[in-house]
Structure 1
Amino acid sequence: MSGAAHIVWRWRGLSLRSGRRALWVNLALMLLLAAGALVSLRLGRIAIGPAEIWQVLAGEAPSRMLDHVVMDIRLPRLLVTLGAGAALGASGAIFQTVSRNPLGSPDVIGFTAGAASGALVWIIGFGGSGAGVVPAALAGALLTGICVYLLARKDGRVGAYRLVLTGIGVGAILSAFNALLLVRGDLDAAISGNLWLAGSVEGRSWGHVWPLWLGLGLLMPPLLLGMRPLGLMAMGDDLAGPLGVPVERARRWMLAGAVTLAALATAAAGPIAFVALAAPQLVRRLARMPDQPLIGAALMGAALMLGADLLSRLAPWGAILPIGQVTGVIGGLYLIWLLTRKRRRG
């Protein structure tokens, strides 16, 4: 017990020493998000100045046209971008803490593919769209989560490596199932499904905003409270158990929350690669923290999504790039840089 107490004291000491740096990183990310949000609201065919944007947000729009452009087109798109990025970043932080693996993110383990399967079944199988995509994606992700959790259990416990490997296998099966749905579905429905799979925040409405932000508001407080037990579990289940951590129950509920966050983001913006994988790692490197910071990961995820959206809208020659493809390219470059950096160190 004395060895475990020493490890916990050391872990807490590291967290306290890095707390001030993490605070500055979070403040810098908030300022970056505020600046990016202003650029996002101004960007478009109709040029709108900061003063006019403020008037519209304050309910004193100079014209109905400006009110419609800001409140019905640009603001919902911005809120979906920020909310989806925050949900993915927080989800990735939880998955990486539970699996104790930097590759433990919902898009790698297969939960994003499960959410996509639910949405595609609704879009292609039932010819649905709109609000029905959200519960369909949630159902697909939660069913995938239950399947992966049960398959990864051995002797009543879920091992970190078993969770990742099982999730990768289930995700591969679901990706093949999604491709089969696209091939066998009606042409119009298949086109709609394929566009949704590309990942996009174009044309998002308040119907996409409310479920996403309501889910974030309800899930983030309990998930924040649950991060401390997960930090103790990072030392190993055998050490966390004697310290009073209900290991399996904490793992089960935190995974359920992370899956729900990933499903909400996928339902609102489609499958988005890289954000959940990289956001926790980037903020952890900047803050120099030993554990995965949930708030920092959420802010970093929102910043990555907003940056990708701005890049997609500023693409040359009028090219229209889905945000999911932009994050995929950025993610590939990030992984290449990371592998090259590790090889040079080795």
Structure 2
Amino acid sequence: MDMIYVIAYDIGTTGVKTCLFGIGEKIELIAGVHEGYGLYMVENGGAEQDENEWWNAMCSTTKKLFDSADVKPSDINGISFCSQMQGLVLVDESGSAVRRPMSYMDQRAVGEIKEGIAHGIQVAGANVFKLVKSLIITGAASTSVKDPVWKYKWVERNEPQNFERTHKWLDVKEYLICRCTGKFVMTEDSAFATLLYDTRDGKRGWSMELCKMYGVRPEHLPDVIKSTDVAGYLTRGASEALGLVHDIPVFGGGGDASLIGIGAGCVETGDTHIYLGTSGWVSTIVDRQKVDVSKMIAAIVGAQSEHYNYFAEMETAGKCLEWVKDHLALDEIDIYLEKRHVAESKETLYASLYDYLME
């Protein structure tokens, strides 16, 4: 069979991994390029990123893909995304961000979550009546200050001018899909991650009941597509910036929590994988939605139809190790022993400080 060439963008917390795959009798990784970008910690628990840094990193890595590959830009048959989830990117009618995107790590909305759900008779820190309603409709609930709806409400309260300029609420990869195609969409897994998406059979779609409960404007919510759907086609402007041919189909793709399990081969009911990156989780494939409110574990909508990921998450995992390396390892536990890098020491065979810490 003829080889099909596709580009996949993994939009992580600290950088983009841009990969060129050939699909024939098997899937082959032909080339890959990584480029980092910033994560900006601001006062009161804020965590933001720069949408132009995402885009610029996509553009530069795409062009570098072809330096070492015997493939031309005109050979590319499609592009898609894997991405961090539960960010908040508010855009105007032209698709431009009205403010810097808020990362899933942002936790400024303490007042908003307290006013919105953490009051009255509570179970697991949430108003019991609102909790039950949300569990019935979505199978989960916005009980963390990091959930996107509270970021949305924070902007509404603290930045009313930006809020009034908002046309659509997008997640990270959805912003980049918009920049590629001009289309405002959200894949099902991203829509579910807002915890405003009705997952009940026959009712799948944005829940007007939950929008009313949380005070979300329904007109801000984009059209929902499947991960395998074509979201749109690469515009001439985007194709010139990326160094690709215009009108290439752009697929919805999925969030990291949806696609990492598939990449690990966990696709059947009962399959389990453990992920450790900037964040971390344990996830098991189940065939129906379930939730453990006391342990904050829920079955989330994934990229596979009629399958759910029963998902226990740590918001920060490898990021904590990085913090220890940068802030504790040098002095408090004398990991360097002397004022020289362990990788340069004749007494050790460690390639990096991470290796030394692991030992």
Normalised TM-score (structure 1) = 0.26
The structure with the greater share of residues assigned to helix is: 1
The structure with the greater share of residues assigned to strand is: 2
| Higher-RCO chain (CA-CA 8 Å, sequence separation at least 6) | 1
Normalised TM-score (structure 2) = 0.25
